[in-house]
Amino acid sequence: MRIDKYLWCVRYYKTRNMVTEACKKNHITVNGQVAKPSKEVFPTDRITFRKDQITQIITVLDIPESRVGAKLVDIYRKNETPPEAYAHLEFLKLSKEHYRKSGTGRPTKKDRRDIDEYGNEIFDDEEEN
């Protein structure tokens, strides 16, 4: 099976076109060699690719007939990505939250609406008195 079809079938990418673009950018390797979208993959091949700031490492266990459900993906691949990579992604998410706390800086659209609503309540109270 072609690498682009395989990665689409085991649900790592939403479309085959996304896999093709990743191949063209040299983000996907099979057994240590940069893969073109038409590269054939076989059981026991080791695929390495970078997605969402994580270098994913998977081993092909079997070739699916077509795109499979999320619950059946583990039949066709073995995920060998180190847990440190996922921990690093979690750390990145936390650092982004720390960088700008919600409610600081320029008000969001929701913040502005809340401020306007609060101001209208005060203005309405003054008119009644």
Instruction: Please report the pLDDT score of residue 51 as a whole number.
Output: 84
What are 63-92's pLDDT values in tens digits? 988 888 988 888 998 988 888 888 888 877
Write the secondary structure of 47-81 as one string of H (helix), E (strand) and C (coil).
EEEEECCEEEEEEECCCCCCCCCHHHHHHCEEECC
Q: What global pTM score does this model have?
A: 0.67
- pLDDT higher than threshold 70 for residue 103: no
**Residue 89 tokens, joined:** 């992604």
What are 10-66's pLDDT values in tens digits? 988 899 899 999 889 988 999 989 989 888 999 999 999 988 888 889 999 989 888
Q: Which band of pLDDT confidence, cut at 50, 70 and 90, is reported for residue 126?
A: low
Angle of CA points 68, 14, 58, to nearest 5°:
65
